[in-house]
């Protein structure tokens, strides 16, 4: 089973930054035991949602030929819990590209304007076709962005701080 931990991609700027959202719902199976009678989204899954969003940025920026795979977390700090009913707003920005096959990102995840996670991570850029069917990923991207099939990215959309 694959966990999709990004429910919406609201804005992106090619090769630069992306903004998305993860809705935490009570029906997610990882909440059953984390923690009994006090369900919270595991911090590592918040980090994975950031990595998936970085993957979407790579895919959209490359015409769905590349994907990002996290390899190393340089820094990560948690500021509170994400609980059922929360919408975690995630912003990812490219820190640096070390050649064509390695990138570093920084990200912030917030609930109602309050930080829940801040992280800096890096990893490999791989051919998307090695891990997923590019056409399927492009179709899923259109669902996540609510875009028509031939729409362009919202590069002119303002990113808030």
DSSP-assigned letter for residue 31: G
What band does 153 get if pLDDT is binned at 50, 70 and 90?
low
In whole angstroms, give the CA distance from residue 93 to residue 19.
9
Q: Which domains does the chain have, with CATH numbers?
A: 8-145 (3.10.129.10)
Residues with catalytic annotation? 34
Q: pLDDT digits over 62-92, tens only?
A: 999 999 999 999 999 999 999 999 999 999 9
Contact assessment for residue 45 and residue 9, using Cβ atoms and an 8 Å cutoff: no
Would you state the structure tokens that stand for residue 81, as one six-digit string?
């819990």
Nearest Cα to Cα of residue 125 among 86, 69, 52, 41: 69
Q: pLDDT digits over 102-144, tens only?
A: 999 999 999 999 999 999 999 999 999 999 999 999 999 999 9
What band does 149 get if pLDDT is binned at 50, 70 and 90?
low
Give φ, ψ of 13 to 5 degrees. Answer: -130, 120
What band does 61 get if pLDDT is binned at 50, 70 and 90?
very high
DSSP-assigned letter for residue 51: H
Place of tokens 């979407």: 56
């Amino acid at each position: 089973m694959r966990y999709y931990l990004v429910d919406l991609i609201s804005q992106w700027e090619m090769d630069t930054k992306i903004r998305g959202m993860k809705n935490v719902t009570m029906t997610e199976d990882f909440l059953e035991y984390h923690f009994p009678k006090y369900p919270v989204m595991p911090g590592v899954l918040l980090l994975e949602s950031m990595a998936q969003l970085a993957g979407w940025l790579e895919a959209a920026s490359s015409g769905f030929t590349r994907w990002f795979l996290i390899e190393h977390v340089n820094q990560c700090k948690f500021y509170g819990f994400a609980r059922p009913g929360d919408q975690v707003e995630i912003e990812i920005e490219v820190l640096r590209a070390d050649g064509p096959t390695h990138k570093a990102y920084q990200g912030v995840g917030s609930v109602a304007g309050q930080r829940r996670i801040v992280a800096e991570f890096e990893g490999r850029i791989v051919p998307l076709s090695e891990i997923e069917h590019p056409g399927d990923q492009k179709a899923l991207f259109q669902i996540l962005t609510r875009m028509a099939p031939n729409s362009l990215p919202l590069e002119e959309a303002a990113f808030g701080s």
